[in-house]
A = this chain, B = another copy of it.
Amino acid sequence: MKLHEYQSKALLRDRGVAVPEGHVATTAEEARSGAAKLFDAGSARVAVKAQVHAGGRGKGGGIKLASSADEAAQFAAAMLGSQLVTPQTGPEGVAVNQVYIEAGADIANELYVALTLDRGRGCPVVIASAEGGMDIEEVADTNPDAIVREHCEPGWGLRSFQATRLAYRLGLTGKAARGVAATMMKLSHAYRDLDASLAEINPLVITGDDGVIALDAKFDIDDNALYRHPELTALRDTSEEEPLEMEAAEHSLSYVALDGTVGCMVNGAGLAMGTMDEISNAGGFPANFLDVGGGASVERVASAFRILMKGERVSAVLINIFGGIVRCDRVAKGVIEALNTVAVDVPIVVRLQGTNAKEGREILRGSDVEFIVAETLHEAAEKAVAAASGQAEA
């Protein structure tokens, strides 16, 4: 789950990290009054920042500096309700529903600091760079030596000496080094306490008087850990999420929309990916990834069909079930029952394998619904691709 900048900053502020004053606004009027407060408090300029989950907002015009409350209101009016296109969104962009009005900072130096998981080492890693404000992957490509790292070992977490070491390796000294090291410690505690998968401050600003301020911040939270963070779950903003993926998640289905024409319904994530690959190898294009999981009850299969068929371009469906503990005959019954409640007007290729596959296939054959039955995964993919191209009867 992704958090917005303003949410992430509130979490950091709670943990003692300095962040600029700011106000969330959903209307130009709110933006004006938020900006006015900041100007009254002495800000020379305020930033108007689109609150979207995608990165690269600056490049897409999602961050503007205003010199008056009126100007801030104008920027906010232009952003709110617009579709913001950034290097990390598709060409259609994402809708801006909230802006954050924030006091400008006195920037002497900009750093990058983040914690994320190092999968190879199996532990979190702090990644820092003296090139703040830039995308870290860009820095990794153009100037990898500018990036320094320290691992948070199991049981030990980030130790103070590691944070200090990072600060010195970034070329800092004195108060700025101590401030950055302290911020890294706080960020690592936040990462841990919030079950984050990413905690990023970019840029982390050194001010003219060697203060340290988080000018942008981003937390991604581990979905598996949300059960123990109701306070974070309440921060979820689903406006940028794919509606079908959300609907699938509500039914404990794992669904990802793709661009192709062959709708897939598979049990197991690996087999679902493998099925997509096989469709591709057969010359077709999968319309989605869809894992119905281990249970595959009638209700679940029906939901899966419903979501699958909402994919606009689906012109054939491939059901690929490898029965393990799940019995194929039960799945077959589920499919038939599901089809009584969901209108499916495209060819359906079914491949059942594993436990009670034969019985399952017989059930399908004996039903009113017309299925194209396949034996192997390869055959199933070929038939589905052909069906999607309108050659089902060929």
Which residues in A have some Cβ–Cβ distance to B below 8 Å? 154-156
* Residues of B contacting A156 in the complex (Cβ-Cβ under 8 angstroms): 155
Of chain B, the residue at the smallest CB distance from A153 is: B155
Of chain B, the residue at the smallest CB distance from A157 is: B155
- In the assembly, what is the distance between CA of A156 and CA of B153, in Å? 12
- In the assembly, what is the distance between CA of A387 and CA of B287, in Å? 102
Of chain B, the residue at the smallest CB distance from A154 is: B155
Of chain B, the residue at the smallest CB distance from A155 is: B155
Interface SS of chain A: loop
- In the assembly, what is the distance between CA of A156 and CA of B155, in Å? 6
* Residues of B contacting A155 in the complex (Cβ-Cβ under 8 angstroms): 154-156
Nearest CB on B from A333, distance (A): 41
- Subset of 3 A-B contacts with CB under 8 Å: A154-B155, A155-B155, A155-B156
- In the assembly, what is the distance between CA of A291 and CA of B55, in Å? 63
- In the assembly, what is the distance between CA of A155 and CA of B155, in Å? 5
- In the assembly, what is the distance between CA of A155 and CA of B159, in Å? 12
- In the assembly, what is the distance between CA of A116 and CA of B156, in Å? 22
Nearest CB on B from A155, distance (A): 3
Nearest CB on B from A124, distance (A): 15
Nearest CB on B from A153, distance (A): 8
Nearest CB on B from A152, distance (A): 12
Nearest CB on B from A191, distance (A): 18
- In the assembly, what is the distance between CA of A156 and CA of B156, in Å? 8
* Residues of B contacting A154 in the complex (Cβ-Cβ under 8 angstroms): 155
Nearest CB on B from A128, distance (A): 24
Nearest CB on B from A193, distance (A): 14
- In the assembly, what is the distance between CA of A82 and CA of B304, in Å? 78
Of chain B, the residue at the smallest CB distance from A156 is: B155
Nearest CB on B from A48, distance (A): 42
Nearest CB on B from A154, distance (A): 8
- In the assembly, what is the distance between CA of A155 and CA of B157, in Å? 9
